[in-house]
Amino acid sequence: VITNSIRYLQRCEGMRPDVQHLDQSMMTYEWFKKKQARHFKHIKFPNKIYNPYKEEGYSMKTFLETNALSPKRPTFLCGGWYHDEIATHLGGGTPGFKTWPVGPCDRIRPDSQHLSLDQWVQEAGSMTPNYDPPSADKYPDGTWERVTLTDYWSARHKLPYSLLMYAIEHQDDQGALNQSAQMFDTLIEIHPNPPDYFYKNAGIAYGRVRSPVSGQRPNHCNMIHNFARFLLSTLE
């Protein structure tokens, strides 16, 4: 869905031809650089093939160090890493780089590039799709439309969830928790049939917020309300 939809928009609709789009799995084929590299004018391939275990291969770390350090050409990850070069039990990913959720994709930044919470949320908000999606019942399971709709709601959930994880990792950062709690409220309000984990994560966020969110009932009430909805939805 990710690869073909972008190709369609660029080649058929003429949208954003300046965006260079690479398929990670295609980069692992020996023919890719020889046949396709000429189409990517601003991208340098460090070796013949994306495979850190081959003599003529390169790692994603090397590829990003070669191509993703200039702020003038931001780099994004859509659909996850093809291969984690950091052990899974340590969080996965690529050494020397972090991913910051911004809409359907993640912005790739060097570890050394610090970003304020407000900058992150502002950038993510500007890149999050904002439209009125149809009901999930409109499309049967297994259709591309249903997959795309599920991906849309997953993208909307990613930012408040990431803010919650950020807050927990930073001694319950209250700014991140407040942002997360309010985003979960909005998400639950606009989703036609919120999944149970929306309620669970909202309850966790409210349980860690120390001061009441402006204009709302006490946090413990919001926490209990969301956990109750979570338990009820898991019983159905």
Q: What is the DSSP string of 135-188?
A: PGGGS-TTSHHHHHHHHHHHHHHHHHHHHHHHHHHTTS-HHHHHHHHHHHHHHH
CA dist., res. 172 & res. 126, Å (int): 25
Looking at residue 2, its pLDDT comes to 75
The burial of 181, by beta-carbon neighbours within 10 Å (0-12 exposed, 13-18 middle, 19 or more buried), is given as buried
Looking at residue 190, its pLDDT comes to 92
Number of H helices, E strands in the chain: 8, 5
CA 195 to chain centre: 18
CA dist., res. 93 & res. 7, Å (int): 26
CA dist., res. 9 & res. 176, Å (int): 35
Looking at residue 218, its pLDDT comes to 80
Phi and psi, residue 193, nearest 5°? -150, 80
CB 109 within 8 A of CB 70: no
Q: Please give the model's pTM, rounded to 2 decimal places.
A: 0.85
List of E strands, the chain: 49-50, 57-58, 75-77, 97-102, 105-110
Q: What is the pLDDT along the chain (236 residues), one digit of tens a residue?
A: 678 888 899 989 999 988 999 999 999 999 999 999 998 988 999 999 999 999 999 999 999 999 999 888 899 998 889 999 998 888 889 999 999 999 889 999 999 988 899 999 999 988 887 778 888 788 898 898 888 888 889 989 999 999 999 999 999 999 999 999 999 999 999 998 899 999 999 999 999 998 776 666 788 899 999 999 999 998 86
CB 51 within 8 A of CB 61: no
DSSP state of 134: P
